[in-house]
Amino acid sequence: MSDLDRSVIFLDNDGVLTDADAHHVAYCRRYGELMAARFGGPAEAWGQANSAAFHTMMQWYEANVARYTDASFFEALYQVELEAAFEHMGLAPPDWQTGGRLLMGRLLYECPLHACALFPGAREAVEALAAAGHRLCMASNAHSLHCEGVLSGCGLRNHFICAFGPDLVNCATKSPDFYRRLCAHIGVHPEQAIVVDDNAAPLAMAAEIGLRTVLVGAGGGAPDVRIVSLAELPDLVTESVRRPAR
């Protein structure tokens, strides 16, 4: 058995497991249904509010990214998103401390349950990796509740031992410490783990502490392996993802 057999594999979500654009459309639809049922108004309008709020949130993210140092950043980020949706609808948002946080948590988990947008071959790849004994984790920049909802909604949660967002390890993904803490949580050395992402930046940080890296798509950087889609990973994970001995 090679040193890569039965590795821990950290999979990103958007761009690796799911199509972000298709997921966003389905997410907004479900968001609209849930919010209309609770606060009134047309479901379509609430879906549009969510889409607008997402863009507001991303603008806030870009403007404040310099202070993105720990998971508390995400508390403020999701508050911005929720309040922007209510503002779009012309309504007063619930108080964040007494109701807003719980509402946002529900939305983060429940909306993905009806928004499965797996890439072709992704389901089969996950099933093959799990059947081979690899321990799978989602490692995403999104909240862990969202990650849990994505996996549950796609019927893949039983193949993953954990779904990590920055909130679970109190560390932003823009730091090598994120991957160091993931490995510590699972109980493996970085050299025993593989990170699969469509973004070269987190892969470079993971490589800094010894994780092997797989880039999905045509991004830059210097990963250990490049693949076109997740469907290729099962055949490659024990053959090509190798870091030279140091």
Read off the pLDDT of residues 167-207 as tens digits, 9 standing for 90 and up: 888 887 777 899 999 999 999 999 999 999 999 999 999 99
Do both 133 and 77 map to the same domain? no
Do both 172 and 96 map to the same domain? no
- Model pLDDT, residue 175: 79
Q: At residue 67, does pLDDT exceed 50?
A: yes
> Mean pLDDT of all residues in the chain?
90
Contacts of residue 228, defined as CB under 8 A and 6 or more positions apart, other chains included, come to: 216, 217
* Edge-to-edge strand list for the sheet holding 212-216: 160-164, 135-139, 8-11, 193-197, 212-216, 225-227
Q: At residue 5, does pLDDT exceed 50?
A: no
Alpha-carbon distance of 220 to 201, in angstroms, equals 9
**Last residue in a domain, options 93, 114, 135:** 114
Residue 2 domain-assigned (yes or no)? no
Give yes or no for a contact between 137 and 163, defined as CB atoms under 8 angstroms apart.
yes
- Model pLDDT, residue 218: 87
- The pTM (predicted TM-score) of the whole model is 0.90
Percent of the chain clearing pLDDT 90 (strictly above):
78
What are the tokens at 122?
């992704």
| Nearest alpha-carbon partner for 126 in 138, 114, 113, 117 | 138
- Model pLDDT, residue 108: 96
Do both 141 and 164 map to the same domain? yes
Band of pLDDT at residue 216, cut at 50, 70 and 90: very high
Higher pLDDT, 239 or 119: 119
- Model pLDDT, residue 180: 94
Instruction: For residue 59, give its domain range.
Output: 21-114
